[in-house]
Amino acid sequence: MTAGDVRAALVRAGRGVRWYLREWSGEARWDDHLRECAEHGHEPLTRREFERRRADAVERTPISRCC
Amino acid sequence: MSTTATRDDASGGGQPPGGAAGRRSSVRSVAIWVAVAAVGAVAWTVLALARGESISALWILFAALCSYAIAYRFYARFLTYRVLGTDDRRATPAERLHNGVDYDVTDRRVLFGHHFAAIAGAGPLVGPVLAAQMGYLPGTIWIVVGVIFAGAVQDLTVLFFSMRRNGKSLGQMVREEIGVVGGVAALIAVFAIMIIILAVLALIVVNALAESPWGVFSIALTIPIALFMGLYLRRLRPGRVLEATGIGVALLLLAIVGGGWIQDTGLGDALTLSKEWLVLALVVYGFVASVLPVWLLLTPRDYLSTFMKVGVIVLLALGLLISRPVLQAQAVTDFAREGTGPVFAGQLFPFVFITIACGALSGFHALISSGTTPKMVAKESQVRLIGYGGMLMESFVAISALIAACVIDQGLYFAMNSPAGATGGAVDTAATFVQGLGFDTSAQDLAAAAAAVQEPTLISRTGGAPTLAIGISQIFSDAFGGGLQAFWYHFAIMFEALFILTAVDAGTRVGRFMLQDSIGNVWKRFGDLSWRPANVIASAIVVGLWGSVLYIGVTDPLGGVNQLFPLFGIANQLLAAIALTLVTVLLIKHGKLRYAWVTGVPLVWDLVVTMTASWQKVFSDVPAIGYFAQAQRYRDAQDAGELLAPAQDQGQMDQVIFNSTLNGILQSFFAVLVLVVVANAVFVIARAIRAGGLPTTEEPPTPSELVEPAGLWATAEEKRALAEHDRLVGSGAGSRDGGRP
């Protein structure tokens, strides 16, 4: 394995971790919104408004955390 | 794809991915699995046979990991494809009802993370620590065997059946599939059990923080840190969760270090709180957290606590591998046979099986496997990874906690975990008591152990959290060096308290929802979740209930953890009995009687354990075990005008009588509720067997248009299918999860 291979593997792993964390934390939902709007030709919400709506939805659902 | 609709569901004809090709075993895979089995067998043999020598704790780790791997590869596969008959041509509720809010197709690996974060809390950390009084072997066997055949099976099957019913909750499914009587009993049981669980969790925090200004300081700071994160995400930089969490974690570490600086100052004196003050603080906190908007406090705390949780678990696994500690505990102690252990009373059977609930079998998980998670599953066969795999992961956490408790000096272990009534609360009396138990220790040793982590004392720091923190600090300072034992101790305390508090505030909120929903049936307005007065009243009721149980536990002269932990464990296992009853009924209703043993056997085992334990706690005439015998003993002494240790006055005598009677009543009440559900289920089972199956509320199949891998790693075949799908549909639809690996 050359140094280039190692670097490529590390970059790939780093990208994977970043992807995972953004998906897990919900940050990636914003990207989904932008993409969906672009696909359907809608005007996207502002980030602030979008996040506020997501927070309001969480308000109505229980967050289950076990012992 | 239309074959899905005509498929006979009762045939259980699920196909593993790849069908016939997937079953062809390559030589390499056979070799790998033979090697895994061999390592596992060697590890178990060492644990079972080695006595009186120094045994590395890593044997426990390897025995567990190899067993998990085999169980996941073979048993979970059998359960998923043969017993449940998952069908990936069938659309899941996430696909059919997609609304981007609760129904949302989620990548399996991401959902695994969500599900694990939801099920894993303090339970798998605390139970094994307490059960270590019986030695390392009983706990290890129960955690591993229990998870493979009971706990993970419960989580998997509940997740599957709830997914087939659009993510219905456990209570709803019991009502619709078993009956109204069972449904009502289950609903009451779930609510009551949740109150007990919240109280016991809070009790663990109180015991860990009492008289510890360092701990109180760092935990208290988590509140302003969370508030800051909440405001940051709302006002400054909406949606930048990772950024906010990064700042939060950095501040959190600073708060732990800061605790060490302030503890000898005036602020430290001010933060040296008694247990009673901490109860008040927790109750006020729980109430406020339940009525505040979630974005301000709950959501950011949840991010913090999850990151800390995963971080510590990874560090602990690494630490164990690097430091390779030696087990100090015996394989099986005399307490296991005689039932006279100071940490909790009772013999190995049934008490080891209720003390270790989470990590082996936890009924609470049924509440998460039904409801939230099933609405996000992309493909049916992914329930194996999420339900079964998630629970294996929690079991691994329990094993790590057990190891941490078994590698510390056992004299210290018993000095920390015996109630103050037994140890006398001082180093010299505790040393005498522990020597009386047959362990080697001295007052100097106990004082030195406390000094090493900069705590005023470690005597009778019950509840499991401080013991685990000692174990973690020892493993971390051995593994990573630097003489940071005090820092690691408080780091561990903080991490446990942080996610117990997250469980307490989230639980209070769930309890509030349940209460509003139930009362909403008779008084409609009260069920409106956005009506402030109802929020406030329901929150106050829930907090008031667990707060009172917590107060009773904290002031109990016999030691709250000693008295309440059995109630907590039995309650959790009784909830599991309800869940296992439900899934057994469902298997039979679906005409899968021949597979009913997969949930039926753990159900019978769980009923035998919980009912024996309940019977002993209620009817035993040994005062240390039977709640009513305990009350009677103190009542007799009172009548004779005597004082019984550890009570120091008549008020405490009254307290013991009241608490023991109350615990006994609660214990009987829970057991009766579960028996009602089981009795109702027996009728349904009898009818279903006679009819060869009964109609259920399962949603009719709809063909799926999604292509998703089933397991953690996509197989070559699945990768081809994904690429093909993307090519046909076009890159747009296929890239919903933009750029995922």
pLDDT tens digits, residue range B100-125? 788 999 999 999 999 999 998 888 99
In this prediction, residues B73-82 reach a mean pLDDT of 97
* CB atoms A25 and B241 under 8 Å: yes
Q: To the nearest whole angstrom, how far is the Cα of A28 from the nearest Cα of chain B? A: 8
Chain B, residues 348-367, CB within 8 A of chain A, namely 358, 362, 364-365, 367
Residue B560's pLDDT is 84
Q: Which residue of A has its CA nearest to B235?
A: A48
ipTM attached to this prediction: 0.94
Interface test with A, best of B242, B354, B501 (most A CBs within 10 A): B242
| Maximum average pLDDT range among B112-126, B639-653, B677-691, B726-740 | B677-691
B272: left (phi over 0), alpha (psi -120 to 50) or beta: beta
A contacts of B120 (beta carbons < 8 Å)? 66
A63–B113: do the CB atoms touch at under 8 Å? Answer: no
Helices (H), B438-464: 443-452
pLDDT above 90 (res B22): no
Please tell me the distance from the alpha carbon of residue B496 to that of residue B461, in angstroms, as a whole number: 14
pLDDT in the model for residue B735: 43
Contact B83, B587 (CB under 8 A): yes
- As a whole number of Å, the CA-based R_g of chain A is 18
Among the listed ranges B275-279, B294-298, B414-418, B722-726, which one has the minimum average pLDDT value? B722-726
Per cent of chain B over pLDDT 70 is 95
Q: How far apart are CA B584 and CA B596, in angstroms?
A: 6
Distance CA B299, CA B422 (A): 41
Distance from CA of A37 to the nearest CA of B (A): 12
CA distance B575 to chain A (A): 13
- The alpha-carbon radius of gyration of chain B (Å, integer) is 26
Q: Averaged over B386-391, what is the pLDDT? A: 97
pLDDT value of position B16: 55
Residues 6 or more apart whose CB falls under 8 angstroms from that of B682 comprise none
Average confidence (pLDDT) over B557-579: 89
pLDDT at B689: 97
What is the pLDDT at residue B406? 97
Residue B384 has pLDDT above 80, yes or no: yes
Q: Which residues of A have a CB under 8 Å from any CB of B?
A: 12, 15-16, 19-32, 35, 39, 47-48, 50-52, 55, 57-67
pLDDT in tens, B313-352: 999 999 999 999 999 999 999 999 999 899 988 999 999 9
Q: Average pLDDT, stretch B376-405?
A: 96
Up-side HSE of residue B643: CA atoms within 13 Å toward CB?
Answer: 9
CA B220 vs CA B281, B285, B547, B553: distances in Å: 10, 10, 19, 22
Dist. CA B243–CA B528, nearest whole Å: 35
Contact residues on chain A for B239, CB-CB shorter than 8 A: 27, 30, 47, 50-51
Write the burial class of residue B177 (CB in 10 Å: 0-12 exposed, 13-18 middle, 19+ buried): buried
Give dist(CA B4, CA B185) in Å, integer.
Answer: 37
Tens-digit pLDDT profile for residues B423-457: 999 999 999 999 999 999 999 999 999 999 999 99
Q: Write out pLDDT tens, residues B265-294.
A: 999 999 999 999 999 999 999 999 988 999
- If you average pLDDT over every residue of chain B, what do you get? 91
pLDDT value for B730: 61
What is the mean predicted confidence (pLDDT) over B658-681?
94
Q: H/E element holding B243?
A: helix B241-262
Contact: A65, B737; criterion CB under 8 Å: no
**pLDDT confidence of residue B550:** 95
Which pLDDT belongs to residue B23? 54
Q: Which residues of A touch B301 (CB under 8 A)?
A: none
Query: Among B253-257, B639-643, B732-736, where is mean pLDDT lowest?
Result: B732-736
DSSP string, B680-697: HHHHHHHHHHHHT-----
For residue B729, the model assigns a pLDDT of: 75
Taking a C-beta distance cutoff of 8 angstroms, is the pair B259, B490 a contact?
yes
Q: Is the pLDDT of residue B177 over 60?
A: yes
Q: Do B510 and A62 count as a contact with CB atoms less than 8 A apart?
A: yes
pLDDT for B676-725, tens place per residue?
A: 999 999 999 999 999 999 999 999 999 999 999 998 889 888 999 989 88
Q: Do B509 and A66 touch (CB under 8 A)?
A: no
Torsion of CA B347, B350, B356, B362, to 10 degrees: -170
Report chain A residues whose CB lies below 8 A from the CB of B365: 66
pLDDT at B691: 95
pLDDT band for position B741 (50/70/90)?
low
Size of interface A-B (CB pairs under 8 A): 118
pLDDT at B565: 87
pLDDT at B466 over 60: yes
Indicate the pLDDT class of residue B59, thresholds 50, 70 and 90. very high
Q: What is the mean pLDDT of residues B222-245?
A: 95
Task: List Cα–Cα distances, B260 to B212, B219, B453, B475, B605, in angstroms.
Answer: 11, 13, 10, 20, 47
In chain B, the domains with their CATH numbers are 26-211+273-691 (1.20.1740.10), 711-741 (no CATH)
Distance CA B373, CA B255 (A): 34
Confidence of residue B734 (pLDDT cuts 50, 70, 90): very low
More confidently predicted of B23 and B67: B67
B287 lies within 8 A of chain A by CB: no
Q: Which pLDDT does position A65 carry in this prediction?
A: 78
Q: Can you give B185-214 as a three-state secondary structure string?
A: HHHHHHHHHHHHHHHHHHHHHHHHHCCCHH
Q: In chain A, what are the domain boundaries? A: 3-59
Q: Do B506 and A27 make contact, defined as CB atoms within 8 angstroms?
A: no
* Residue B121 to residue A67, Cβ atoms within 8 A: yes
What pLDDT shows up at residue B522?
A: 92
